[in-house]
Every structure is written in structure tokens, then in C-alpha cells.
Amino acid sequence: MQHDLFAAPASGPERLPLADGAVVLPAYACGVADQLLAAIDSVVAQAPLRRMVTPGGQTMSAQMSNCGALGWVTDRAGYRYQATDPVSGRPWPAMPVAIARLATQAAALAGFADFFPDACLINRYQPGARMGLHQDRDEQDLSQPIVSVSLGLPMVFQFGGLKRSERPRRVPLNHGDVVVWGGPSRLRYHGVLTLKPGTHPATGDCRYNLTLRRAGR
């Protein structure tokens, strides 16, 4: 029997549908996880992780930084994107190619061609940190999807409906898992439950999440 080494695999990367326009790509980023973590290190060396304050005055439990042309920030004045890091006044570090490429490829697999993110929010969770249910809606073009990459310790993702009152599904996310949501799911409520203590070979005692978005036009 003759095998064609260059034939496309019958199935390709695994895709688990979550909802219309939303999919989990299990372990999709595992092959580039070390590159992504090195990229995170270089970004946070220039724009250190920090705990931001919500407009209501609560200090967020996740530490955050950004790379790309625009960065998501919150303070007493509100949630917004801006081109400069409020801590340093300098532009956010450029988005490392490894991060941008992974996002474009994951979005395409999920059915969103030509996704070119201009904003990458880096969330670092340590045990006890969480992110309450919220919508991502500070972006200008809601036809563009969200790509979310998990690295390190496992965490339970909550994926809800278009109304906060709709009970969210619980989706365990592991190192290398990528979630993409857009189209009819773009404004679904989502969040993560409290991180449990643990140790991961790639990240030690924490989980990183990269959220990639097209924030401007």
C-alpha cells in the first residue's frame, strides 16, 4: 500500500463546538507554548504586569499587561483601549509574531478568516484569582472574533449567553487550549472560576491567558 505523506490529514486539529460561532481547539497552542511564554516574558519585561482597578474601585485579582498597537486598561475613569501603557506613558510593546500568527491560524480554523489582532491582553492568575462574568465589548468592530489562549495551570472557563442571567457552561481549560468566539457568540458573557493552587511544568504556580482582539478598525 502506498501512503501519500503530503496528503492533508483526514481531520486536522480537534474542534469542539461550544455554541454557534464558538469553538474550543484543545491543545492547539501546545507546540508553540514555549515560544508564547518567552514572548510573554519579553513583553512583561517592558510593560510589567500590574493589578488594575475597575471603574467601581475594585482591584482586579488577575495581573495584566498588553502588547500590540492597543492595550486594554481599566481605572476609575472606565474601561478602554489605549496606545500607551499608563504606567510608563510609552507605547505598548509590539505584538510578538508567534502570538499574532497563532491567533490568525486559530481564528481561521474556527471559521474566521483574515483575523489580524491589534491588541493582546495578558492575564496572569495566581491561586485565588478569578475573572467574573463579563462581555468583551470595548472593541470597535464586533464582526471580529476573540481568540483566547490558556497556558499553565488548568482553570474552569464559564461560557454563558447574551444575557448575564443565562447560566454559563463550565469548560475546563488546560495548557495550550485555545477558545475562539465570534459571530452570533461574540457578545456572550464569559469568565473564569477561582484558580486552584498547583504547579505546572511550563509556568510554575500560575496560569496565563492571552486574549487577542481587533480593538480598533
Helix (H, G, I), strand (E, B) or coil at 215: coil
- What's the rounded Cα separation, in Å, for the pair 176 and 213? 18
Q: 85 vs 177, which CB is nearer to ligand SIN?
A: 177
| CA 34 centroid distance within chain | 16
192 interacts with ligand SIN by CB under 6 A? yes
Are the C-beta atoms of residues 42 and 96 closer than 8 Å to each other? yes
| Residue 190 found at the interface with ligand SIN (CB under 6 A) | yes
Binders of ligand SIN among 55-84, rule CB under 6 A? none
Between 118 and 136, CB nearer to Fe ion:
136
Neighbours of 197 (CB within 10 A): 9
Gap between the Cα atoms of 128 and 125, Å rounded: 8
Q: How far apart are CB 177 and ligand SIN at their closest, in Å?
A: 9
Of the candidates 139, 137, 136, 148, which has an alpha carbon nearest to the alpha carbon of residue 69?
Answer: 139
Could you tell me the smallest distance in angstroms from the CB atom of residue 208 to ligand SIN? Answer: 9
- Is residue 105 at the binding interface for ligand SIN, with CB under 6 A as the rule? no
CB of 64 to Fe ion, least distance (A): 11
Interface with ligand SIN by CB under 6 A: which residues?
Answer: 123, 131, 148, 157, 190, 192, 209, 211
